[in-house]
Chains A and B, each alone.
Chain A
Amino acid sequence: MSKQPTLLVRAYWAAAVLALAAAIAVVLFYTPDEVTMGPVQKIFYLHLPMAINTFFACLLVFVASIGYLWQRSLWWDDLAAAGAKVAVLLSSGVLATGMIWARSAWGQWWTWSPRLTFSLMLWLLYVVYLVVRTSVESGQRRAVVSAVYGITAFLDVPLVWLSARLMEDIHPSSVTLSGQMRVTLTLWFLPVTLMAAGLVLARFNLTRRIRERGLTMERRFHPTGMQVSQGVA
């Protein structure tokens, strides 16, 4: 029972890809090179939208975690998991682009600067979320553990940011954007956000379909719709 992607979904992804293509074109042909860094600086246009979207993905995990603890429905848990997967994807991108930036701006792949340290800690926080899910048996228990962690992790984010700022900032980066650069930056938000949101929804839908299919199969073997398990009374 495979579902063909609907027209809406196809149109959505077509728009996202088009926006990405347009954004790339703009960056290559329209945006000027930055004075000190050269063309590599342009990775910033990808970096910042990804960072902002990471925040929203983490916020989604937070809200969905609260939703789960409140309603105890696995619907919320699936949503939180989808959000976390995208958060890790995005924050990996933020980390990678941040390191490329560091390499080109300061000659080092890694420094314990506030921004990179923050990116690393954030990445770790949500990678752990995913690992926790593989370590606990699926179902309500996993959802509870994930939800508590999802809430705690998000509450931790401002503290992580503040503590990262305590790290020595050897290379304070002051980015002044010209008019054209600002336009480019704004433009890049569109494809990145579309794709991030699209991935969350795609992942969520996939998980829901798998779960529903699992339930349908169970009902086929137990016509009463009820399961009697051993020793649970």
Chain B
Amino acid sequence: MTSVLRQALLIAVKDLRIESRSRQTLGLVVVLGILIVTVLGLGLGSQHMSGSAATAVLWVAYLFSGVLCFEKTMTVERQDGAMAGLLLAPLDRGVIYLGKLLSNLALMLAVAAVITPVGVLFFGFDLSAAPLAFFAILGMSMLGFAAVGTLFAAVVSSSRLQGGLLAMVVFPITLPLVIASTQLTARLSQEGQSWNGSAFAVLLAFDVIFLVASWLAFEWVIEP
């Protein structure tokens, strides 16, 4: 078990090292995220936005940025046939999935670390009620999103890519995530609201089901 984690971390660290060399993706994605938040903020009139609206705006930014991150981490493997190099190694295919998932998560969290404060700033979103809960919900949502996105990035990347294909495929699947997390965060900013157990259950179920399913499916679909 620990060797699985060790190998996955190896792959993730390698990805992040590559990203730190080129720095192209992170820069592009962060700026895109800020632009999205700005456009939506301007359009919706950011005087006082409800908690759920602010979360939705952030989600749109995360979704688009996230998809770009997923595409990048897979493209790295498609260049020069590097994926074949990984597949030749005595690795469980699930380890490759896990490694990619970890790098995708790290990139998404890095992007969120920039965009979220911007969003909070623009929309006056009050997090003081339960900041930890907000980040926990965010983290869980991103995990589910990355679980699905990593799988489909692998499936889609080896075909003749049409721009937007990955986004189109991932968005409808992750709609339950968007609903559940916006409902949960909306409650946070309103005082005296009880914890929305069923929304949390949906979030948790999504994460578990798709982590397991994607892990298992990965080896059936990955090709050198």
A and B touch in the complex (CB under 8 A): yes
Tell me if B210 and A162 are in contact (CB < 8 A).
no
Q: Which residue of A lies closest to B196 (CB)?
A: A166
Against A, the Cβ 8 Å flags (1 = close, 0 = not) of B140-183 are: 00000000100110011011101001001100110110011001
Tell me if B175 and A160 are in contact (CB < 8 A).
yes
A148-B150 Cα distance, complex, nearest whole Å: 12
List the B side residues contacting A163 at CB < 8 Å: 175-176, 179-180, 199, 202
Q: Which residue of A lies closest to B205 (CB)?
A: A159
Interface centre among B156, B173, B201 (most CB of A within 10 A): B173
Tell me if B213 and A145 are in contact (CB < 8 A).
no
Q: How many chain-B residues does the 8 Å CB contact rule pick out?
A: 32
Q: At the interface with chain B, which of A33-41, A82-90, A130-138, A210-218?
A: A130-138
Q: At the interface with chain B, which of A15-23, A150-158, A225-233?
A: A150-158
Q: Which of A131, A153, A164, A166 contacts B173 (CB 8 A)?
A: A153
In the complex, B217 has a CB within 8 A of chain A = yes
A164-B179 Cα distance, complex, nearest whole Å: 8
Closest Cβ of chain A to B80, distance in Å, is 17
In the complex, A81 has a CB within 8 A of chain B = no
List the B side residues contacting A128 at CB < 8 Å: 168-169, 172
A74-B62 Cα distance, complex, nearest whole Å: 36
Q: Which residue of A lies closest to B180 (CB)?
A: A163
Q: Which of A131, A141, A164 contacts B159 (CB 8 A)?
A: A141
Tell me if A166 and B210 are in contact (CB < 8 A).
no
Q: Which of B165, B175, B201 contacts A135 (CB 8 A)?
A: B165
Closest Cβ of chain B to A152, distance in Å, is 6
List the A side residues contacting B169 at CB < 8 Å: 128, 132, 149
In the complex, B198 has a CB within 8 A of chain A = yes
Tell me if B217 and A166 are in contact (CB < 8 A).
no
Q: Show 29 A/B contacts (Cβ-Cβ < 8 Å), sorted by A.
A: A121-B175, A124-B172, A125-B173, A128-B168, A132-B169, A137-B159, A142-B159, A148-B151, A148-B155, A148-B221, A151-B213, A152-B148, A152-B152, A152-B213, A152-B217, A155-B209, A155-B213, A156-B173, A156-B176, A159-B176, A159-B205, A159-B206, A159-B209, A162-B202, A163-B202, A166-B179, A166-B180, A166-B183, A166-B199
- New contact pairs (6) apart from A135-B168, A151-B217, A163-B202, CB-CB < 8 Å: A121-B176, A149-B155, A155-B209, A156-B173, A163-B199, A166-B180
8 closest residue pairs by CB, A with B: A163-B176, A163-B179, A159-B176, A124-B172, A135-B162, A136-B159, A125-B172, A141-B159
* B residues in contact (CB < 8 Å) with A: 148, 151-152, 155-156, 158-160, 162, 165, 168-169, 172-173, 175-176, 179-180, 183, 196, 198-199, 201-202, 205-206, 209-210, 213, 217, 220-221
* A residues in contact (CB < 8 Å) with B: 69, 121, 124-125, 128, 131-132, 135-137, 141-142, 144-145, 148-149, 151-153, 155-156, 159-160, 162-167
